[in-house]
Amino acid sequence: MTHGLGDIWEYTHLNKLDHLSRTHTVNKIFQRVVDISVQNTLTTLQKQPKMRTYCLFKKDVKLERYLTEINSSNTRKFLSKFRLSDHKLEIETGRYHRPKKTPEQRLCQNCGTIEDEIHCLITCKINSSEREQTFARISIQDKTFYHFDEVTKFTYLLQNDNLCDQNIYSFIVKCLENSYAAKL
């Protein structure tokens, strides 16, 4: 068997097991198949260049809390698009230019560095005041936050539990709005 459960299949005769043992065995098989499916999905995502950022913070397949806890459908949509790299940052819009820009050519108009999701939230000059306020609030709860590197700060912001914090999702939305407005 490809799922590593050959021993159960070969040595367990489900028809001869009592109900409780049969239920346990079926549940074990089901969970193993789900686990393999999730792992295969995440592995496939990691091979997709467009999903490079998503794979930094998405470590399992489940319904994200922000989808049920944020009341504003516009905010949920904005955050979902950001998480899935369906936004107007240059890292995405640069792929539509002809000839297609390389990732190194997809630069922020304000800073001259690659304009990706991490840059937008963590280093872009245009978002410095929002970032200072949000990071100060976070550091009150987590004293180590300021010591994190850029990628760790970014993943911290987008982790499921943290994203449900009103301040963090407002910060993400404001950063994107600032970046979009600067392009006009």
Domain extent listing, the chain:
6-47, 62-182
The whole-number average pLDDT for the span 75-81 is 91
Q: Do the Cβ atoms of 153 and 134 come closer than 8 Å?
A: no
Report the C-alpha gap between 36 and 49 in whole angstroms.
Answer: 22
Q: How many helices (H) and strands (E) does the chain have?
A: 11, 0
Tell me what percent of the residues of the chain surpass a pLDDT of 90. Answer: 46
Q: For residue 95, how far is the Cα from the chain centroid?
A: 20
Q: What is the pLDDT of residues 152-165, one digit of tens each?
A: 999 999 885 665 57
Give the residue carrying structure tokens 């990071």. Answer: 135
Rounded Cα–Cα distance for residues 33 and 37 (Å) = 6
Mean pLDDT, all residues of the chain = 84
**With helix as H, strand as E and coil as C, how does 52-81 read?**
CCHHHHCCCCCCCHHHHHCCCHHHHHHHHH
Q: Give the pLDDT mean for 91-96.
A: 92
Name the DSSP letter for residue 121: I
